[in-house]
Amino acid sequence: MIRVLTLCLCLACTPVGALAEQETGHDYFAAQRQMISRGVQAVLMCNGLFTSGRSLEQVFRQELAYLSDPVGTVEGGDYRIDTGMRAVEVGSPDSGPVMRAAFREGIGCIVLAPDQDLDDVDSLPSFDATPPTGDPSRIPWPDGDLLPGNPIPETVNAAALQAASDWAFERDTPEQDTLSLLVVHQGRIIHERYAEGIDRDTRTRTWSTA
C-alpha cells in the first residue's frame, strides 16, 4: 500500500510542462528529413555535373541555390564526386544517412535507395536513346533542331508571355532558381529562354514535366 501511494504522489508532483516537453522535445522525423535533403542535393549535383556538364561552381551557385542548408561548399565538404562512375555521394555514416545519385545513359541521374551504394550503379536501368540520323539543324523539332521562323500566333498574348518569362527568371525567391524555360503551343516552340551558363544544347532534367 505504501508503494502505491508513493507512486501516485510522484506522478502528482511531476510538472505538467515537463511531461509536455518530454513528449514533444524529440524530433522523430529529423532522420527522414535529412535523408530527403541529402537525396535532393545528390541528384541536383549529379544532374548539374553529369547531365548538363556544368562546373561545380555553377552547380553550387544555381542548382543548389534554393536549398536552405546544402552540405559543404564549392571548396569541399561532406560530399564525394566520382567522375568515373558519374555519381555523387552526400553525407557520411558519422553524420547521418549517406545518399547517392548516379547518371544513367538515356535517363539522367537516379537517386539510389538508402541501402544501395556505388557497387549497385551498374544494375540500375539505362535507355538507349539513339538520335535520328542526319543533320539535326535540318530536321524539324522535336526530332531535330530546325525551328520555323513564323511569329508568335495572334491567339497568344505576346506581352503576357514575356511577363511570365520575366517572372520565372527575375522574381526574388529563395525557393527556386530557373535555368531554362521552353513554351510549346500547338506543337511548336513559341518562346525559349536560358539562364547564364545554359543554352539550347545544355541537357537538363525535365523532372515531372516530361
SS3 137: helix
* Beta-ladder partners of 24: none
pTM value is 0.75
* Beta-ladder partners of 177: none
Element holding 190 (H helix, E strand): strand 188-194
Nearest-angstrom CA–CA distance, 166 and 160: 10
* pLDDT for position 210: 53
* pLDDT for position 29: 86
Read off the pLDDT of each residue in 62-82 and give the average, rounded to a whole number: 93
* Beta-ladder partners of 191: 183
**Is residue 165 predicted with pLDDT exceeding 80?**
yes
Read off the pLDDT of each residue in 131-149 and give the average, rounded to a whole number: 88
- Give the residue with greater pLDDT, 71 vs 9: 71
Rg of the chain on CA atoms, in Å: 25
**Among the listed residues 143, 141, 155, the one whose alpha carbon sits nearest the alpha carbon of residue 192:** 141
CB 102 within 8 Å of CB 121: yes
* Beta-ladder partners of 180: 194
pLDDT tens readout for residues 16-30: 555 555 556 788 888
Residue 1: pLDDT band (50, 70, 90) is very low
CB 64 within 8 Å of CB 44: yes
